[in-house]
Amino acid sequence: MNIQAGNNDKKEANAYRKGVKPRTGTLGGSNRMLSAREVAAILSVPERTVREKWREWQLPAYRIGKHLRWKEREVHAWIDRHAA
């Protein structure tokens, strides 16, 4: 078994516990709109950090009324572009 695959399984299990669906299926995720809490869970950072740093990180966001939302597809594309 590949060690990397084992790590992915743990990440997916943690995502389910946090209420965030793991990335599966379509390339780049869906067009589902995510809250700051969901983005924070995907990035494994506090929600406050997402709210304070999204502009600095150049993470595309949409304002819907007074709420910020992110497209799941764009969040995953941003992660792919910024992977170390």
Domain presence at residue 1: no
DSSP 8-state assignment for residue 23: P
Domain presence at residue 49: yes
Could you list the beta-strand ranges (E) of 1-84: 33-34, 62-64, 67-71
Domain presence at residue 16: no
Its domain, for residue 45, covers 31-84
Domain presence at residue 4: no
Confidence of residue 2 (pLDDT cuts 50, 70, 90): very low
Domain presence at residue 65: yes
Domain presence at residue 3: no
The CATH number of the domain holding residue 73 is 1.10.10
Query: Using CA atoms, how far apart are residues 2 and 82, in angstroms rounded to an integer?
Result: 24
Of residues 3 and 43, more confidence is placed in 43
Domain presence at residue 25: no
Mean pLDDT of 38-65: 95
Domain presence at residue 56: yes
Residue in the structure block whose two tokens are 């941003």: 78
- Total structural domains within the chain: 1
**pLDDT digit string, tens, across residues 21-46:** 555 444 555 789 999 999 999 999 99
| pTM score, whole prediction | 0.64
Sign of the Cα torsion 64, 73, 41, 18 reads: positive
